[in-house]
A and B are shown apart, each in its own frame.
Chain A
Amino acid sequence: MIGIEDCLSEVMSIPGALDAVLVEPVSGMAVMGSGLPDPARSAAGLTETFRAALEGIALASPEGTVRIDNMIITTETSHHLIKTIEMVFDGPLLICLRLDLERSNLALAQWRLGTITDQLMAH
């Protein structure tokens, strides 16, 4: 069982990790960031990304309602991994990790991110 601070340092130990931020997407707040010059700005951008994806995917899905489990956005320099964590109230929380394109293994990173968030929520 780990707390928020340990969770973030575990995430940063994933091979190829460049920076990470924990975002509360309802208010768009950066709960905690690591390796980022301006976590508040990143949180604002990631919140918009998540919201846009949620609305777009809801329209694109025949059933209409969706719950995003995770998102991967690959740019020319990095992978952005966005994973949702369901919370007791007012959820979800987003854990957002940026990985170096050359030095990371996407499958390994996704698996590690999953185990770390499980540890955060484990009773």
Chain B
Amino acid sequence: MTPPTLDTVLTRLAADNATGSLRVGKDGTVYLTGGRVSYVECATTPGVEELLTASGRISASGVRGIRQASGPEADGGDLLVQKGVLSRGELEFCVLGATLDASFFLLRPAGTPRSRFKEGDTHWLGTHWYFDVPGLFRECERRRARLEQAWPSGELDGQAVVPVGRLNGGHVLLTASQWELVLAADSTATPLDLARRLGRPAYSTLLAVRELAAAGLLATSAEDEPGAPALPKRTPAKPSGDAAERRPPPLADATDVNLLIRLRDALEAL
């Protein structure tokens, strides 16, 4: 028997107002508080700990100290705020960002990994932000559409990031995160490696890589290997709000053909 999808498991836990942790295969954990998702961690994305240490706010040993000092009620987040490491707003935003980033990679729609629920288990940071389960899946879907809109190929997602040596045009506009990526790219690190190295969310790194690719600023392996399939053509950018609402083209109906035949007959009869 195949295990139920993650979607089904989480929807059931939400309906039961469950509090605890759901271990998803070897990849990560979803924490629930009263049926709502309060934190998600994933092996491939930086968590709050990594984001804080990479930003230079606190050392790795500092985080360990606070983690050990946080009691069974899991008030590690409050301790961080009390010690002045970050403000309450920053903590909430950090938890929210890390949760969405991890969810994007952990809650893949096709996956049916084995999951195990541990009742009553809480994350050491405590609860600082909530997502309802359908809302979280919707946001992951929106992010997937946003990625496709930037550059409709996942080809570069797992490959080393290699900026082109020479620009096609005279100048180029980069965002701050794109600039950091170009600077950090050493022709061996993949987007996920770079995200870890820079302490940036994996999703926004992936998005920046695809935007750089769309702007023609990254070397693609397709150009090196003769016979490799060419990258898909770039589609013109649309406002991001439209991405989720894009409808498939209407299918031709037999009545349309009949109407056209009648129209032709009528015109010929003139």
Contact = CB atoms under 8 A, between A and B. Distances in A.
B92 interface: yes
Most chain A CB within a 10 A radius of its CB, from B57, B97, B201: B97
A90 B97 contact: yes
B142 A121 contact: no
A19 to B, nearest CB: 16
Contacts of B199: 89
Interface stretch (A1-9, A74-82, A97-105): A1-9
Interface string B228-251: 000000000001110000000000
B51 A44 contact: no
Contact of A29 (B142, B173, B239): B142
Contacts of A122: 87
Interface string A21-39: 0001011110100000000
A45 interface: yes
Nearest to B94: A88
A49 B142 CA distance: 19
B54 A89 contact: yes
A44 B139 contact: no
Contacts of B81: 1
Contacts of B97: 24, 89-90
B184 to A, nearest CB: 15
A40 B84 contact: no
B241 A90 contact: no
A120 to B, nearest CB: 4
Interface string A89-114: 11001000000000000000000000
B204 A123 contact: no
A69 interface: no
Nearest to A45: B241
A59 interface: yes
Interface of B: 51-52, 54-55, 57, 81, 84, 86-90, 92-94, 96-97, 100, 129, 139, 142-143, 146, 173, 175, 177, 199-201, 203-204, 207, 239-241
Interface of A: 1-4, 7, 24, 26-29, 31, 40-41, 44-45, 47-48, 54-55, 58-59, 87-90, 93, 120-123
Given A27-B143, A88-B55, A90-B200, 18 more contacts: A1-B87, A1-B88, A3-B89, A4-B92, A7-B89, A24-B97, A27-B146, A31-B96, A54-B175, A88-B51, A88-B52, A88-B90, A89-B51, A89-B199, A89-B200, A89-B201, A121-B90, A123-B86
